[in-house]
Amino acid sequence: DCFMTNCFPDIEKNYVGFATLPNQVHRKTVKKGFTFTLMVAGESGLGKSTLINSLFLTDLYRDRKVPNAEERINQTVSNVKHTVSIEEKGIKLRLTIIDTPGFGDAVNNTESWKHIEDYIDQQFEHYFRDESGLNRRNIQDNRVHCCLYFISPFGHGLRPLDVECMKALHEKVNIVPVLAKADSLTQAEVSRKKMNIREDIKLFGINIYQFPDCDSDEDEDFKRQDQILKDSIPFAVIGSNVQVESKGRKFRGRVYPWGVVEVENPAHSDFLLLRNMLVRTHMQDLKDVTRETHYENYRAQCIQNMTRMVVQERKRRWMHTNTVLF
């Protein structure tokens, strides 16, 4: 009693203490840090690299060599991994970006998404193998949590390649469609193209990432923001790593003969909506859906295949034994 009184002077007799569990979980999680893997897919020249650098205020592509037009045509699709550790207010994030250079650039793009699909499956396979092994405590999660799919602003809606690629990936990863280079379009054109893309997504049965429904006890402001996110699909975005000065203000943007475009101005693009969704509001849900839906589907298929192989092997041995006996 003396020990308890000295060590915990403010302890309440009718207080067990499990109300501190969220704080314990928070401390442990913060100490461990967070991981997030984001894939970017889409043809060259749509500003993928610039947008990623703008989203996370970092330069992930410092050493990249940009291929010329001839090199792009002959380039095979590959997957390039960039990992960077970001710290903000004591919170550490290990961010991994998977780029897919060469996608959609060849004359013949038949099954050019296969490398992307295989990469996602490989990460599931590695995780499944580690999870089933002896070293489960030190598993590194490299599963792809989200795929930003960049759509060209110069088409009517989705191209056949977009449809085929998204349909090949939509059961394996959370697809978030992005309308690239929104500054090349008027506001009316952005609205029209968004509507066309949404109609194509519905027409071709493409399953993009679904924002979770709000709980009934959420405040009205949160519900309104959530509805704005849902209505903004696909996100019309602009990226820029250049600081522009205009009217005494400095901001990231682009200067044109007709005026200045601000990256973080909601009137000019959906950049802030996309960043808030990816980082502030839905990062954990993207990870949860990856774990609970996409990975679980892969895991169930693996176990089913393994069970089928065991049954077939037992049947083969039984038939062999009976053949020898009779």
Rounded distance between C-alpha atoms, residue 144 and residue 222, angstroms: 27
Rounded distance between C-alpha atoms, residue 145 and residue 86, angstroms: 17
How high is the pLDDT of residue 293?
95
Q: Distance of alpha carbon 35 from its chain centroid, rounded?
A: 12
Q: What angle do CA 106, 110, 114 make, to 5 degrees?
A: 100
Closest by CA to 37, choosing from 87, 76, 91, 84, is 84
The whole model's pTM is what?
0.81
Tell me: cis bond preceding 67? Omega within 30 of 0 counts. no
Residue 179 CB-half CA count within 13 A:
29
238, 252 in Cβ contact below 8 A?
no
62, 84 in Cβ contact below 8 A?
no
Alpha-carbon dihedral of residues 211, 215, 221, 227, nearest 10 degrees?
A: 30
Q: Quick one: three-class SS letters along the chain?
A: CHHHHHHCCCCCCCCCCHHHHHHHHHHHHHHHCEEEEEEEECCCCCCHHHHHHHHHCCCCCCCCCCCCHHHHHHCCCCCEEEEEEEEECCEEEEEEEEECCCCCCCCCCCCCCHHHHHHHHHHHHHHHHHHHCCCHHHCCCCCCCEEEEEECCCCCCCCHHHHHHHHHHCCCCCEEEEECCHHHCCHHHHHHHHHHHHHHHHHCCCCCCCCCCCCCCCCHHHHHHHHHHHHCCCEECCCCCCEEEECCEEEEEEEECCEEEECCCCCCCCHHHHHHHHHHHCHHHHHHHHHHHHHHHHHHHHHHHHHHHHHHHHHHHHHHHHHHHC
Domains and CATH numbers, the chain: 33-324 (3.40.50.300)
How high is the pLDDT of residue 88?
80
Rounded distance between C-alpha atoms, residue 288 and residue 308, angstroms: 29
Q: pLDDT digit of tens for each residue in the chain (326 aa)?
A: 554 555 555 556 666 666 776 677 667 767 777 889 999 998 888 888 888 888 887 766 555 554 444 444 444 456 788 888 888 888 888 889 998 877 766 656 677 788 899 999 999 999 999 888 777 777 888 999 999 999 999 988 999 999 999 999 999 999 999 999 988 888 899 999 999 999 999 999 999 999 988 777 777 887 888 888 889 999 999 888 777 777 777 777 777 777 777 787 788 889 989 998 998 889 999 999 999 999 999 999 999 888 877 776 677 666 666 665 55
